[in-house]
Structure 1
Amino acid sequence: MSSTASSAALSVAELRTRFRQGKEALLTRFKEARPSATSARLLLHGLARHVDATLVQLWQGSGLPAGAALLAVGGYGRGELYPYSDVDVLVLLPEPETDAVREAVSAFITACWDIGLEIGSSVRTVDDCVREAQADVTVQTSLLESRLLTGPRRLYQAFAKATSEALDAAAFLRAKTLEMRQRHVKYEDTPYSLEPNCKESPGGLRDLQVVIWVARAAGLGRTWSELAAKGLLSAFEVKQLQRHEGTLRLIRCRLHVIAGRREDRLVFDLQTSVAESFGYQSTKGARASEQLMHRYYWAAKAVTQLNQILMLGIDERVSSSEQAPMRPINARFLDRGGMLEVARDDLYTDNPHAILETFLIYQQTTGIKGLSARTLRALYNARSVMDSRFRKDPLNRELFMDILRQPEGQTHAFRLMNQTSVLGRYLWVFRRIVGRMQHDLFHVYTVDQHILMVLRNVRRFFIPEHAHEYPFCAQLASQWDKPWLLYIAALFHDVAKGRGGDHSELGATEVRRFCRDHGLEPDETELVEFLVRHHLTMSTVAQKEDLHDPEVIQRFARRMGDARHLTGLYLLTVADIRGTSPKVWNAWKGKLLEDLFRYTLRALGGAPHSADAEIEARKQEAMQILALHAALPGTEQPLWKTLDISYFARHDAAEIAWHARSLWRHLDTQVPLVSARPSPIGEGLQVLVFSPDRADLFARICGYFDGAGFSIQDAKVHTTRSGYALDTFQVVNPNAEDQSPGAYRDMIKLVETQASAALASDGPLPPPSRGRVSRRVRSFPVKPRVALRPDEKAQRWLLSVSASDRSGLLYAIARVLAAHHINLQLAKVSTLGERVEDTFLVSGAELQQPRLQLQMESELLDVLADVR
């Protein structure tokens, strides 16, 4: 190696050491400093200056022509650099690239990577930059934030002038607005995602950057202060923007440092560590991560509001829509091209009643599609007006009830009220749950977003255009005379979450106070309070109790009291479950709830329940179905003679007929018979298993479904008088995108053949599969719970289990039951997101022996807790 090459290599090695030491010193200083916006700003600017100096040194030894310049672009061009973000640079050439220049640039980029700089680079002339920017708005945005690091200033000025002249402010604004909307949809269109991206999610840093980009393109300023000087911001709004931007910067910096890599998502795995780096500590009332996320959500919400105000304001300046003709709506409001505008800026401070009137006008006025920037700003600056006196004002209470009672527009009005902080200011109890996380593995929204989702779901029951979504709910809603009572119940059903007590009882107290203050009639107040207090009752009964037991239905009917209370609770329950997570609702849960509703409605009708008459009617209907399928008369009798009343009570006529058709030739079979069909409920398969009974049969069935990738949603387990197991399963493949009956037809023969072979095996039960658990389960594990109690007749036992879901869990439970010779008579399998709540009706000699019972419960807890 020559001495020159050795010197160059040593120079790069020295630069690498200096760069790493300098960066480590900056990170150490940041980690040791008190978490503040100032510490984040110092880190961002310090890292940028440190990289500036390193790049300039490398550039000086690169051999690039003297006429070339090095520019910082993108986020680095702003003079800010996050600990693990890319360093974007532009090599600006005075003339088209030659082979010699190409080799020098390549050597320069290689040297950058060698010393630890993650470079993103481009090499262009000024003409290239203009051409690329006109073709790609992303390039245009990157070049908009550029600064000269080294090289001829004259070349940089020519570049800045050419790219600026080529910029069409209106086209750029339109492109960035569409790009922002697309990004918001990608990130769930809410600042309240449970694992938000603090850079890209709605309310994240990117929303602030977009404002500056479009403002710069329009020549309206480069900083918040410059935008204020142009009349786009008030002094108060500048302070708010700086404060919330500082919070988001600090969180992102801490997130990078904790992760040790570029990580902009506040994922569950990192939330606690980031929170603790802020000094948050878990308390009885809130985890450390919850306190951090609450702070993040408040900042993101404010950024969302201010972004909307500024983007509308800039759009008005660029498009000159400030001069658009305005149509007066009344003395206080105008229609400016479809946007609702206040007649004067101080309207709300002079007339606080106009605040709630805004949303009533928004609902009532045809053609209004949103609030103007002027109105949004007036609302943002009027928050201090919405105090205790405002909340107690009789006219405001009347206006709020008018909003609820309007024939349409509640969903959009209440979302807008929440976005503008009016809802939380008026309903102070609602303010406490804005941005509150729910660590229960099946709610994917914060409490306030879940409540508004439930309100939306209830509202859709009353909209004819959405009747096809839930036809039965739409039918019931069409007969309901006061929809606004259900809207109030939806608003309050979870409003007491996070207080440490029973949120249903606390919520009932809150809604009773609301009803009293807002002048509802006593019977209306009682109904709404009932709905809030019992909003979990119907789903619990439907998913955990035997709906074919007349005593269960009678007990539930007594609690309902009448058909109106039952109908209201059914509608609220469906809306509530649908509003938790897309994963929680399925057709099987819908069927259980509808069955409970219909059985209870019949019981409330006053007709005495006659099990014999009902079963006889069910048999007659089953025989009619058999006749339609050309079955010989009496086909069903050999099977029916072996079945007791509980079988007919737990199956509908169609299932009874299907069983008879499938089994009439196989009643003496000595090998397991499996028959499958597309499920009548519209999702998955219904699978019939008929086999000589054995202690481990249920475990083997679960083992097959587990290995084949199916999830059991329901199991009806029976033993005939002749000693055969007759079990029916509702199963789905959770990984299948298409859950329609047609998608399952192709796998019916495969399931029948494979399941029969698996059940015929005499070998030892295989171990359960070990599927990976989700990050949410690892971060928020459910404490395993086992409850075993005798039923009311003291003949059988109810076994309830609760745990984090995982592949193979039901099979693992079944293996324990088989090992203890427990007879299974009914299984209620309920998956709530990533938590399971299963109930089994069981019997067995060991349950009568306390020691053996405790041993079984201990083993069940072991398998429930085995989350790896």
Structure 2
Amino acid sequence: MDINVRTLPSPLSAVLGKKLLLQGRKILHQQFRKNASSTALLRGYSRLVDDLLRQVWKEMALPSSISLLAVGGYGRGYLFPGSDIDLLVLLPAKGSSTDAVEDVTKSKLEKWVHLLWDIGLEVGHSVRTLAECTEESEKDITVQTSLLESRRLAGNTKLFSVFSQAMKTALNPQEFFSAKQLEQQQRHGRYHEATYNLEPNLKESPGGLRDLQNILWVSRASGHGKSWSDLVKGGFITWQEARLTKRHEMVLQDLRIRLHYLAGRREDRLLFDYQTLLAKEYKISDKPPRRAGELLMQRYYRAAKSVTQINTILLLTLRAEIFPDADLIPVIINNHFQKRGELLEVRDENIFRKDPSVILQSVLMLQKHPELKARSVTTLRALWHSTYLINSDFRRNLRNCTLFMEILCQPRGLTRELRFMSRYGILGRYIPVFGRIIGQMQHDLFHVYTVDEHTLMVVRNLRRFMASEFAHEYPLCSQLISEFDRPEMLYLAGLFHDIAKGRSGDHSLLGGKDAKRFCAQHGISVEDTELVIWLVENHLIMSATAQKQDLSDTEVIAGFAKRVRNERRLIALYLLTVADIRGTSPKVWNTWKGKLLEDLFWATRRYLCGGPNYVVGTLENRKIRILKLLQLDAIPAGAHEQLWSELDTTYLLRHDPQEIAWHTRQLYSRVNSPVPVVKARTAPAGEGVQVMIYAADQKDLFARICGFFERLNYNIVEAKIHTTHNGYALDSFLVLNPFKTVEQYRNVIH
């Protein structure tokens, strides 16, 4: 929308300016609701703000020697409804900005800014000389990027021309590319490299608008153009690829516009609260068992996935131009591939279409050759355009089945290559049921990733257990998996454990059927097939048993052991369970959960090895361990007997030997204490506080203790209640405060 500034009264009051702004925004919103053109709205809102800024600038009678520039996103001539309006007041080169601004001009600029805010324009402005702009851009890549897209709104034209030339001269394309690439890597790292977060940021998340902007920034800085059509003319992409890119860009822009309108402010996160509302705007309805919000998000995830592919390919293409390596001589690897520097390159760009099996061979090449760090842009583009060839005939081909299993068996590169295969659609086409969970939401309190992203996280965690450099994180897992025969069966269980989510029915049982078909097609032995199916069908039972049942109850252990049946299954289930919980969210795992799972693992292993004598053997072993611990603390021999005579077998089985030794140290001389004994220590596992309360039993004692912890904002994650033969309550608690560190727990105790 354009404002005819000649019809505005002078001076322009804040009231009238605000009225015009609101009126213009309303018309733009109505037009957007009618034609759903994101481009028209973004440009229209930018022009609306342009006209108001120019009119206010003109009426302030600011010196003709200075210039007003639009920078950042506003400099592109695109403005979202909730975005800031970034401005630069450019001053002549007279030393510092303080020297260059006269008192009168400074006063006018202050009034100008106040008037803009009174009108309702949320501006972010800076006042700099040409020299200061150059200096700041050299120090900060964010400033340099913002100034790269500047355009003049009002003021001195010549000064702006000098500024533009100075910015262009100061730009070093190679340094700019490296800085933007690092910036992107750091930004992706903040989102755990995951395109499929359940509440993604439309602008900043991997596959978001920023990834597309990054391409055009690099292109502009290196002199290759500032639009997708410029990149087509330069031969960097085809017209078909440019149209695809623009389509995905418009999907993200449209979502962001609607999100800003729904929130009534700048909000770039697709929070759960907005997903269903946005789905209604797109007239998307529920398709049970999937909700409308899930269907909307799957549309977003597919666009984000394509943006990630486009970003990778185009940045590599531009890098080849900015950092020419024409002198690199390719080294032939085999009939299909050659090595150029550290990149894998196809010798024939059409090889994937001629022989689709080479798609999987390319994955295997990266795994088998550690000197190869990535694929060349030629190889990536050829793969991108060939994945449609992975069809039912491809999947039935014994050669391809063998190649896929060989990929799973490789000692290195599996996590990286599975992520690559997922990103480029290879994995979803090779395992069609995996393709169905791409972008599938999970509505619960734990998962922060989509089903496919979570699945890859689980496989990553299993692989991490194999790496010696991470053995200190989960020593037991690292030890167990290093001795586990054919660990690729664990990776298959990880791939299939949630593969049936989003379908009607029990996803564990449905996933087991999918796993059975896959194993049969790939010639996996009966024994291993049964293991994979059992793991998929029962992948939730270990965490449920550990967290919801009493592990000191021998019947619980016996029942769990009967379901597990043998030690190989137990080890496999334990490894899968730890990897699964760790893959739900960076915040879900804690040492308490780890200890419960480990306790269940060891108790079940002892049961499987000891059979009917499990309880007797366990009890005697515990007593021996406890007495050894007491000896280390110089507790007199036999000092424990009076206290232990008041305890029963249930207590000795339910509590950890270290905990019993701690209780004994505190109570052996206070068995009939007339006053309560309360002791606390940091939990041996390292997280939380362990509290022991020993007092004559009385009414509502447990409830009063729980109320005390609640008032302190501590969560009780474990409570063990025991009444001694002499009528005392011996209660043990493990309490956590999610905001405290181990050091803070120590301070609380002291």
- TM norm. shorter chain > 0.5: yes
Judging changes above 3 Å, is the alpha-carbon distance between structure 1 residues 694 and 214 closer, same or farther for their aligned structure 2 residues? same
What is residue 82 of structure 1 aligned with on the other side? 80
Deviations 1:65-99 (A, max 9, x none): 33544332211111111112122233344564341
In 2, the alpha carbon distance for the partners of 1:559 and 1:137 equals 59
Compute the RMSD of aligned alpha carbons.
Answer: 2.2
Contact 1:72–1:149 (CA under 8 A) maintained in structure 2: yes
Equivalent residue in structure 2 for 1:724, among 728, 736, 741: 728
Equivalent residue in structure 2 for 1:469, among 473, 494, 501: 473
Amino acid at match of 2:31: R
What is residue 348 of structure 1 aligned with on the other side? 352
The yes-or-no answer on 1:539 pairing with 2:543 is yes
Amino acid at match of 2:602: R
| SS state at 1:608 partner | helix
Query: In the TM superposition, what is the alpha-carbon distance from 1:376 to its structure 2 partner?
Result: 1.6
Equivalent residue in structure 1 for 2:241, among 228, 237, 250: 237
Contact 1:198–1:205 (CA under 8 A) maintained in structure 2: yes
Query: In the TM superposition, what is the alpha-carbon distance from 1:360 to its structure 2 partner?
Result: 0.4
| SS state at 1:535 partner | coil
Judging changes above 3 Å, is the alpha-carbon distance between structure 1 residues 349 and 703 closer, same or farther for their aligned structure 2 residues? same
Query: In the TM superposition, what is the alpha-carbon distance from 1:338 to its structure 2 partner?
Result: 0.9
Deviations 1:752-793 (A, max 9, x none): xxxxxxxxxxxxxxxxxxxxxxxxxxxxxxxxxxxxxxxxxx
What is residue 114 of structure 2 aligned with on the other side? 110
Equivalent residue in structure 2 for 1:57, among 55, 58, 63: 55
What is residue 15 of structure 1 aligned with on the other side? 17
Equivalent residue in structure 2 for 1:221, among 203, 225, 229: 225
Q: Which moved more, 1:560-569 or 1:667-676?
A: 667-676
Equivalent residue in structure 2 for 1:46, among 44, 47, 54: 44
Judging changes above 3 Å, is the alpha-carbon distance between structure 1 residues 279 and 639 closer, same or farther for their aligned structure 2 residues? same
Amino acid at match of 1:488: L
Q: Which moved more, 1:73-82 or 1:651-660?
A: 651-660
| SS state at 2:612 partner | coil
Deviations 1:461-480 (A, max 9, x none): 22222222211122222221
The yes-or-no answer on 1:24 pairing with 2:26 is yes
Query: In the TM superposition, what is the alpha-carbon distance from 1:424 to its structure 2 partner?
Result: 1.0
Judging changes above 3 Å, is the alpha-carbon distance between structure 1 residues 726 and 324 closer, same or farther for their aligned structure 2 residues? same
The residue correspondences of 1:223-372 to structure 2 (distance < 5 A) are 223-372=227-376
The yes-or-no answer on 1:522 pairing with 2:539 is no
Query: In the TM superposition, what is the alpha-carbon distance from 1:8 to its structure 2 partner?
Result: 5.1
Query: In the TM superposition, what is the alpha-carbon distance from 1:663 to its structure 2 partner?
Result: 1.5
| SS state at 1:341 partner | strand
| SS state at 1:695 partner | coil
Judging changes above 3 Å, is the alpha-carbon distance between structure 1 residues 621 and 60 closer, same or farther for their aligned structure 2 residues? closer
Contact 1:218–1:318 (CA under 8 A) maintained in structure 2: yes
TM-score (norm 2): 0.94
| SS state at 2:613 partner | coil
In 1, the alpha carbon distance for the partners of 2:649 and 2:132 equals 83
What is the number of residues matched between the two proteins? 737
Deviations 1:430-463 (A, max 9, x none): 1111122211111122111111111111112222
Query: In the TM superposition, what is the alpha-carbon distance from 1:109 to its structure 2 partner?
Result: 2.6
The yes-or-no answer on 1:134 pairing with 2:138 is yes
Deviations 1:332-378 (A, max 9, x none): 12222212222232221222111111110010012111122222211
Contact 1:486–1:528 (CA under 8 A) maintained in structure 2: yes
Equivalent residue in structure 1 for 2:499, among 495, 499, 503: 495
In 2, the alpha carbon distance for the partners of 1:729 and 1:98 equals 67
Judging changes above 3 Å, is the alpha-carbon distance between structure 1 residues 253 and 683 closer, same or farther for their aligned structure 2 residues? same
Identical amino acids, percent of aligned pairs: 49
Q: Which moved more, 1:652-661 or 1:437-446?
A: 652-661
In 2, the alpha carbon distance for the partners of 1:545 and 1:403 equals 39
Judging changes above 3 Å, is the alpha-carbon distance between structure 1 residues 104 and 685 closer, same or farther for their aligned structure 2 residues? closer
Query: In the TM superposition, what is the alpha-carbon distance from 1:9 to its structure 2 partner?
Result: 5.5
Judging changes above 3 Å, is the alpha-carbon distance between structure 1 residues 630 and 167 closer, same or farther for their aligned structure 2 residues? closer
Query: In the TM superposition, what is the alpha-carbon distance from 1:544 to its structure 2 partner?
Result: 1.7
What is residue 631 of structure 2 aligned with on the other side? 627
| SS state at 1:33 partner | helix
What is residue 748 of structure 2 aligned with on the other side? 747
In 2, the alpha carbon distance for the partners of 1:89 and 1:386 equals 51
| SS state at 2:176 partner | helix
Contact 1:26–1:46 (CA under 8 A) maintained in structure 2: yes
In 1, the alpha carbon distance for the partners of 2:84 and 2:658 equals 63
The residue correspondences of 1:447-458 to structure 2 (distance < 5 A) are 447-458=451-462
Contact 2:512–2:537 (CA under 8 A) maintained in structure 1: yes
Contact 1:312–1:373 (CA under 8 A) maintained in structure 2: yes
Judging changes above 3 Å, is the alpha-carbon distance between structure 1 residues 143 and 682 closer, same or farther for their aligned structure 2 residues? closer
| SS state at 1:605 partner | helix
What is residue 428 of structure 1 aligned with on the other side? 432
Judging changes above 3 Å, is the alpha-carbon distance between structure 1 residues 745 and 217 closer, same or farther for their aligned structure 2 residues? closer
Contact 2:208–2:304 (CA under 8 A) maintained in structure 1: yes
Amino acid at match of 2:289: G
Contact 2:344–2:372 (CA under 8 A) maintained in structure 1: yes
What is residue 33 of structure 1 aligned with on the other side? 34
Judging changes above 3 Å, is the alpha-carbon distance between structure 1 residues 68 and 616 closer, same or farther for their aligned structure 2 residues? closer
TM-score (norm 1): 0.81
Contact 1:232–1:310 (CA under 8 A) maintained in structure 2: yes
What is residue 389 of structure 2 aligned with on the other side? 385
5+ unaligned residues in a row in structure 2: which ranges?
Answer: 1-7, 95-99
Deviations 1:459-516 (A, max 9, x none): 1222222222211122222221201111111111111111121111011000000000
The yes-or-no answer on 1:179 pairing with 2:183 is yes
In 1, the alpha carbon distance for the partners of 2:133 and 2:668 equals 80
Contact 2:643–2:668 (CA under 8 A) maintained in structure 1: yes
What is residue 838 of structure 1 aligned with on the other side? none
In 1, the alpha carbon distance for the partners of 2:581 and 2:14 equals 61
In 2, the alpha carbon distance for the partners of 1:131 and 1:640 equals 76
Judging changes above 3 Å, is the alpha-carbon distance between structure 1 residues 136 and 552 closer, same or farther for their aligned structure 2 residues? closer
Query: In the TM superposition, what is the alpha-carbon distance from 1:743 to its structure 2 partner?
Result: 5.2
In 2, the alpha carbon distance for the partners of 1:293 and 1:323 equals 46
In 2, the alpha carbon distance for the partners of 1:708 and 1:457 equals 35
Judging changes above 3 Å, is the alpha-carbon distance between structure 1 residues 149 and 626 closer, same or farther for their aligned structure 2 residues? closer
What is residue 211 of structure 2 aligned with on the other side? 207
Deviations 1:19-64 (A, max 9, x none): 221112112332x326x4xx21111111011112212222221212
The residue correspondences of 1:527-606 to structure 2 (distance < 5 A) are 527-605=531-609
What is residue 657 of structure 2 aligned with on the other side? 653
In 2, the alpha carbon distance for the partners of 1:151 and 1:110 equals 19
Amino acid at match of 2:749: I
| SS state at 2:679 partner | strand
Query: In the TM superposition, what is the alpha-carbon distance from 1:12 to its structure 2 partner?
Result: 4.3
Contact 2:607–2:614 (CA under 8 A) maintained in structure 1: no
In 1, the alpha carbon distance for the partners of 2:641 and 2:458 equals 48
In 1, the alpha carbon distance for the partners of 2:9 and 2:467 equals 78
Contact 2:12–2:59 (CA under 8 A) maintained in structure 1: no
Q: Which moved more, 1:243-252 or 1:458-467?
A: 458-467
| SS state at 1:321 partner | coil
In 1, the alpha carbon distance for the partners of 2:618 and 2:454 equals 40
Contact 1:635–1:661 (CA under 8 A) maintained in structure 2: no
Deviations 1:544-591 (A, max 9, x none): 222222222222222112111111111111111121123322222222
